[in-house]
Amino acid sequence: MAIILDGNKIATEIKNEVAAQVKSLATAGIRPGLAAVLAGNDPASEIYVRNKVRACEQLGIYSEKLTLPASVTTQEMLDLVNTLNQRDDVDGILVQLPLPPQVDSKRVLLAVSPEKDVDGFHPVNVGYLSTQRPGLNPCTPAGVIEILKRSGIEIAGRDAVVLGRSDIVGKPVAMMLINDNATVMVCHSRTIDLAAHTRTADILVAAIGKPAMVTPDMVKRGATVIDVGINRVTDKKKVSEYFGDDPKRHDEFSRKGSTLVGDVHPEVSEVAGAITPVPGGVGPLTIAMLMSNTVKAARMRRGIATQ
């Protein structure tokens, strides 16, 4: 059976380090600040923002939630972002997606100052990542790398396969693996004979958004499998298909009417050498790295060396 890579434990380690940095900056009269912009009434977005604000409070980071109506225009969003760009007490700007359909999301994200782009989505930060210059990296991919490094899993010289080519996860995690000297292949929905490629991977990162798509026959024995997917299962038959007779999963389904599965079938744990669970794997690292990026932005903006 695979070693389970505990994302909650690693996220706690990172948050403790961030809290120590916040205390250190406080001695110089600096308090990192994060502004979260939320538009409309998307319940999932509200939960995500609430969790991010709570994490800020726990670590001593100043946080501000700015909620705009569902009727907001692109120009109103741009005006708000511009105001936040100019505020010295705001080091990081987080625009929670999705935005209402009438808003040009790309224009809004592009308007965020690169030095305050704690999501790491701005083309300037993407360019810094690809050319190995100091910048703000996307949170989920950065979390993937932290899991590997803090779990003592060698990256340099290893064959890595990334499933998924999104701008948010697939592409940046591939670039980070390359920067750490892995040999990287990116696969996607148009890849021919996907399993032939995934079976070569010492490190397999699944971020393709399809529940339990990666099955044991697609994984090299002893490989490290990082499951970025979070898929909600609402069909009882699928719960049995994915989790067999696991009483915890069936109990959760009975109570909530759903349970979560990643992009990797749970049976892969019988083949892999190490694997991240869903939930409790990559997910907790996303908020931890957002907190880390906020402090990093505060330091970089003031010319203080980053750690």
Helix ranges (DSSP H) in the chain = 7-26, 43-59, 74-86, 105-111, 123-130, 139-150, 170-179, 194-198, 236-243, 247-256, 283-301
Q: How far is CA 169 from CA 85, 205, 209, 219, in A?
A: 25, 10, 11, 20
CATH number at residue 235: 3.40.50.720
Give the number of domains in the chain: 2
Q: Residue 45 is part of a domain; what is its CATH number?
A: 3.40.50.10860
Looking at the fold, whether 111 and 154 belong to one and the same domain comes out as: no
User: Does 157 share its domain with 250?
Assistant: yes
Are 65 and 158 within one domain? no
Mean pLDDT taken over the chain: 96
Residue 129 lies in a domain: no
Any idea which residues carry the catalytic annotation? 52, 96, 119
Percent of residues, the chain, with pLDDT higher than 90: 95
Query: Does residue 106 share a domain with residue 63?
Result: yes
Domain residue limits at 76: 29-115
pTM attached to this predicted model: 0.95
Q: Is residue 104 part of a domain?
A: yes
CB crowding 92-105: b at 16 or more within 10 Å, else e: bbbbbeebbeebeb
Q: What is d(CA 174, CA 176) in angstroms, rounded to the nearest whole number?
A: 5
Query: Is 2 part of any domain?
Result: no
The single-letter DSSP state of residue 206 is E
Please indicate, yes or no, whether residues 279 and 166 belong to a single structural domain of this protein.
Answer: yes
Give residue-wise pLDDT tens across range 95-116.
Answer: 999 999 999 999 999 999 999 9
Q: In this structure, are 143 and 213 located in the same domain? A: yes
